[in-house]
């Protein structure tokens, strides 16, 4: 069977792929979207969405355990861990069906199968039963995403050695859990499992948790997690593990020597690698650097008819980055002028543990290393009325400002709701707003957002509430 010719074939139905397909169809293109698994990709099915459903449950449970501080009383509180997991899977399933509906609404042809390039615009599609078909596309967009990175010599078995997918589907709460990797994925799962009573230990080979964040953010998160009972060991490398019916024994290398840890399970959360294999790239001019397809801000590759977006093009591995890049890519393909190319420094990063973190732009260290003349503002949430009313003042807002031009170079947030607040700094950066513009903005009271204002004020030694 051969499918009708299309203008654009998108291989991969994750956030970048399905958004690119929808936008291309809106612009009048005939579009086919090819995906071998559930629509929505890793983010919707095994990443962003289900983890946030779990973390919401953990937040509700923490609030329930501390509810007497509000003058309220609840008796007989308990949880069903399997049901918590079941709801998470249901949320992911509902949204995956929603993506299918959006594709239908916009006239995108969805084809279930694995896509592979054959050269000269031809795409081979192999369905779940092994049947092979082809279609012709004027342009192809590769949005094949990424998968969890393995540690050398250590392979996940889904029972004692987990990937993030296993951590999202376990119906039994482990008594003890070892997490290898203190990036966003590792720290979110540490927060979730600890909230429900697991004894969690996090190993990180670098000197800081969330090593991509500003140093003050990393230090604050580590301190908070330790206060909650999570054991954090930085500068620690997992050398080997052994498994048996009772769990795992891990050998850990640190500056003080080797030691062993026992746990019911170990979660390997050491990053991701792009899905560049078996795409037929040898039939194209596309260049690959390791596990990353080389592409520019518009998704252009070395082959004029093949484009690449999202995680398969490398860091930052974020769904919102993939969506933005997908739109910019197909708008270029369809001949729109101007466009909005992706700037990595304008992509916010968020971690949804407890406390939340969010950041955008340069860290203080990076700005200083680039020789910039900067001023830094810090505002602790203990000075914010809304945070005090919520009973959650663990955090701060930090802004890095160009002292000569007033440009907001970076913003780094820790505390309740900061993953919702970071967008304000994103808008400021895109509009090239200065600190003066933010100073003159009227912020509603009482809100957490007022703390953003206070942080910018603090950069000019004008903070009012601390």
pLDDT digits (tens, 9 = 90+) for 71-88: 999 999 999 999 999 999
Is domain 355-459 classified as CATH 3.30.1540.10?
Answer: no
**Contact in structure between 205 and 224 (CB atoms under 8 Å):** no
Give the ranges where 284-417 is alpha helix by DSSP (H). 319-333, 364-369, 385-390
Edge-to-edge strand ranges of the sheet holding 199-204: 161-162, 265-268, 176-180, 199-204, 231-234
**Residue among 443, 454, 433 at smallest CA distance from 377:** 454
Ramachandran angles phi, psi of 83, nearest 5°: -70, -35
Q: Tokens 């895109």 sit at which residue?
A: 430
Q: Which of 412, 445, 453, 465 is catalytic?
A: 445
CATH class as words, domain 161-270: alpha beta
The gap from C-alpha 124 to its chain's centroid, in whole angstroms, comes to: 31
Ramachandran angles phi, psi of 53, nearest 5°: -65, -40
368-427 residue pLDDT tens: 999 999 999 999 999 999 999 999 999 999 999 999 999 999 999 999 999 999 999 999
Weakest-pLDDT range from 98-102, 196-200, 336-340: 336-340
**Contact in structure between 294 and 303 (CB atoms under 8 Å):** no
Q: What is the spatial distance between Cα 386 and Cα 140, in angstroms, rounded to a whole number? A: 49
Would you state the pLDDT for residue 341? 79
**Contact in structure between 12 and 143 (CB atoms under 8 Å):** yes
Predicted TM-score of the model (pTM): 0.95
Percent of the chain at pLDDT exceeding 90: 93
Would you state the pLDDT for residue 55? 97
Instruction: Give the burial class of 225: count Cβ atoms within 10 A of its Cβ; 0-12 exposed, 13-18 middle, 19 or more buried.
Output: buried
The domain made up of 6-148+273-344 has a fold known as: FAD/NAD(P)-binding domain (3.50.50)
Domain range list for the chain: 6-148+273-344, 161-270, 355-459
456: tokens are: 């910018």
Weakest-pLDDT range from 192-206, 233-247, 338-352: 338-352
* Average pLDDT along the chain: 95
Tell me, yes or no, if the two domains 6-148+273-344 and 161-270 fold the same way. Answer: yes
The DSSP-derived string for 97-150 is: HHHHHHHHHTT-EEEESEEEEEETTEEEEE-TTS-EEEEEEEEEEE---EEEPP
Q: Which residues contact 12 (CB under 8 A, 6 or more apart)?
A: 34, 35, 41, 115, 142, 143, 144, 145, 310, 312
> Please, which pLDDT band fits residue 1 given cuts at 50, 70 and 90?
low
The answer on pLDDT for 3 being more than 80 is: no
465 part of the active site: no
260-316 residue pLDDT tens: 999 999 999 999 999 999 999 999 999 999 999 999 999 999 999 999 999 999 999
Strand pairing report for 374-380 and 396-402: antiparallel
Mean pLDDT of 131-154: 93
**Contact in structure between 353 and 313 (CB atoms under 8 Å):** no
Percent of the chain at pLDDT exceeding 70: 99
Mean pLDDT of 29-50: 94
Q: What is the spatial distance between Cα 414 and Cα 395, in angstroms, rounded to a whole number? A: 5
Q: What is the spatial distance between Cα 455 and Cα 218, in angstroms, rounded to a whole number? A: 18
202-242 residue pLDDT tens: 999 999 999 999 999 999 999 999 999 999 999 999 999 99
The DSSP-derived string for 201-237 is: EEEESSSSSSTTS-HHHHHHHHHHHHHHT-EEEES-E
Q: Which residues contact 416 (CB under 8 A, 6 or more apart)?
A: 355, 356, 381, 387, 390, 392, 395, 448
């Amino acid at each position: 069977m051969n499918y009708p010719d299309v203008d654009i074939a998108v291989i991969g139905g994750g956030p970048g792929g399905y958004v690119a397909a929808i936008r291309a169809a809106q612009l009048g293109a005939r579009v086919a979207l090819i995906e071998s698994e559930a629509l929505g990709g890793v983010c919707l099915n095994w990443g962003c969405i289900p983890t946030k459903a779990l973390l919401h449950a953990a937040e509700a449970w923490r609030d329930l355990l501390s509810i007497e501080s509000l003058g309220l009383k609840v008796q007989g509180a308990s949880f069903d861990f399997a049901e918590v997991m079941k709801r998470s899977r249901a949320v992911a399933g509902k949204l995956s069906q929603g993506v299918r509906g959006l594709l239908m609404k916009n006239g995108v042809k969805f084809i279930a199968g694995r896509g592979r390039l054959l050269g000269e615009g031809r795409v081979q599609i192999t369905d779940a039963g092994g049947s092979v078909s082809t279609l012709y596309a004027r342009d192809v967009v590769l949005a094949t995403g990424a998968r969890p990175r393995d540690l050398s010599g250590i392979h996940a078995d889904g029972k004692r050695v987990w990937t993030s997918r296993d951590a999202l589907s376990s119906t039994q709460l482990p008594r003890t859990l070892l997490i290898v990797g203190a990036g966003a994925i590792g720290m979110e799962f540490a927060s979730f499992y600890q909230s429900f009573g697991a004894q969690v230990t996090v190993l990180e080979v670098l000197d800081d948790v969330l090593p991509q964040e500003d140093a003050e953010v990393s230090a604050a998160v580590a301190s908070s997690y330790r206060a909650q009972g999570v054991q954090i060991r930085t500068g620690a490398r997992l050398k080997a593990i052994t498994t048996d019916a009772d769990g795992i024994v891990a050998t850990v290398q640190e500056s003080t020597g080797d030691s062993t840890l026992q746990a019911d399970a170990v979660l390997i959360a050491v990053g991701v690698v792009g899905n560049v294999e078996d795409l037929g790239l040898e039939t194209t001019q596309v260049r690959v650097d390791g596990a990353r397809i080389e592409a520019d801000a518009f998704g252009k590759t070395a082959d004029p008819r093949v484009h690449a977006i999202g995680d398969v093009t490398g860091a930052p591995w974020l769904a919102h980055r993939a969506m933005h890049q997908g739109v910019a890519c197909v708008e270029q393909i369809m001949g729109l002028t101007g466009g909005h190319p992706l700037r990595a420094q304008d992509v916010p990063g968020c971690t949804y543990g407890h406390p939340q973190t969010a950041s955008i732009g340069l860290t203080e260290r990076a700005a200083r290393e680039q020789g910039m003349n900067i001023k830094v503002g810090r505002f602790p949430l203990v000075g914010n009325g809304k945070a005090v009313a919520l009973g959650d003042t663990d955090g701060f807002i930090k802004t890095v400002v160009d002292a000569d031009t007033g440009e907001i170079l970076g913003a780094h947030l820790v505390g309740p709701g900061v993953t919702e607040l970071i967008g304000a700094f994103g808008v400021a950066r895109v509009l090239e707003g200065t600190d003066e513009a933010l100073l003159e903005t009227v912020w509603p009271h009482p809100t957490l957002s007022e703390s953003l204002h206070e942080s910018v004020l603090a950069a000019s030694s004008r903070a009012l509430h601390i």
